[in-house]
Amino acid sequence: MAETGKDARGRGPLWGAFWMIVTGLCFVAVTAIVKHLGGDVPAAQAAFLRYVIGLVFVLPMIGPMLRARLGGRDIALFSLRGAMQTFGVMLWFYAMTKISIAEVTAMNYMSPVYVTIGAALVLGETFAARRMLAVVAALIGALLILRPGVRELSSGHVAMLFTPMFFAVGYLIAKRMADTVSPAVVVGMLSVTVTIGLAPFAWAVWVPVSWVSLGWLTLVAFFATAGHYTMTLAFRAAPVSVTQPATFLQLVWASLLGAAIFAEPLDTWVMLGGGIIIAAISFISWREATLKRRSITPPHTATKV
């Protein structure tokens, strides 16, 4: 009964999975529209326009942002996230014009793996054997997607090798900030900082843009902003170990969309590699959640109060 009450307030495993599924649908819509635009607008400019237009959807978030009373540390973290997201978004927009939707989606799943590796190398976290095996499995999944030596790799594949690295830092900061401020503040600060970060890159490659392209980019801004908001809701509703497996549906939808609308062949290797990556990061998330519970749960022999 306690869990029902928790779900009724928008929290709990079911709500977490639901919001992550909605997040996946929003981001698949983003990839489809960006793919449709193709190379009509340079990647940096398209990304900048997406965020400038997206500022319209941030207007309702101005109040919560002002009331949040962010300190210097909070602003520094949000700025760092904005910088990482700036580079990641530019590379992502570029990759979408070069490789299939399914490949972009599958390779983007490497973000949690990069987070795990970075936590071990930079933060000094323990890199247990099970976690190492999961990381190796994820890297094998990435190799199945890329298949170097079997086929020619494009610049889009290279871009997607680095994109998840930048996004990984952003996701880690988002998860941390979601525990201290509201989702509106997390999304609003992202939009503001990335718009500022993209401005000089967009100016360097600026070309005239048609009203039709602006219309499509408006939809991109809407779905992307909504996706970041629902992702934050998912983070607040349930642990990553619960929400992570639901992201695999995004690869299924992206593959079907690419085949149905853009005549991209269904690549079994991409689906297999993406499935392995998702399985690996789901195991990592579950393992970390289990260890966390053990650290705060007294053993059965402990005195009960």
pLDDT of residue 2: 45
Distance, in Å, from the CA atom of 194 to the CA atom of 49, rounded to the nearest integer, reads: 11
Q: Is 241 among the domain residues?
A: yes
Name residues of the chain where pLDDT drops below 50: 1-8, 295-305
**Residues 59/171, Cβ–Cβ less than 8 Å:** no
Q: Is 110 among the domain residues?
A: yes
Q: Is 305 among the domain residues?
A: no
Of residues 225, 278, 213, the one with CA closest to residue 252: 278
Residue 42, C-beta contacts closer than 8 angstroms, at least 6 positions apart: 202, 205, 206, 207
Residue 254, C-beta contacts closer than 8 angstroms, at least 6 positions apart: 28, 31, 101, 102, 104, 105
- Structure-token pair, residue 4: 């029902």
Structural domains of the chain, count: 1
Q: Is 187 among the domain residues?
A: yes
- Structure-token pair, residue 169: 């830092």
Distance, in Å, from the CA atom of 64 to the CA atom of 7, rounded to the nearest integer, reads: 24
pLDDT of residue 206: 93
Q: Is 35 among the domain residues?
A: yes
To the nearest 10°, report the CA torsion of 223, 229, 235, 241.
0
- Label each residue of the chain as H, E or C: CHHHHHHHCCCCHHHHHHHHHHHHHHHHHHHHHHHHHCCCCCHHHHHHHHHHHHHHHHHHHHHHHHHCCCCHHHHHHHHHHHHHHHHHHHHHHHHHCCCCHHHHHHHHCCHHHHHHHHHHHCCCCCCCHHHHHHHHHHHHHHHHHHCECCECCCHHHHHHHHHHHHHHHHHHHHHHHHCCCCHHHHHHHHHHHHHHHHHHHHHHCCCCCCHHHHHHHHHHHHHHHHHHHHHHHHHHHCCHHHHHHHHHHHHHHHHHHHHHHCCCCCCHHHHHHHHHHHHHHHHHHHHHHHHHHHHHCCCCCCCCC
Residue 20, C-beta contacts closer than 8 angstroms, at least 6 positions apart: 230, 231, 234, 243, 244, 246, 247
Structural domain span for residue 35:
12-296
Q: Is 301 among the domain residues?
A: no
CA 267, 97, 78, 226 dihedral sign is negative
Q: Is 67 among the domain residues?
A: yes
Q: Is 304 among the domain residues?
A: no
**Residues 55/191, Cβ–Cβ less than 8 Å:** yes
Distance, in Å, from the CA atom of 117 to the CA atom of 47, rounded to the nearest integer, reads: 28
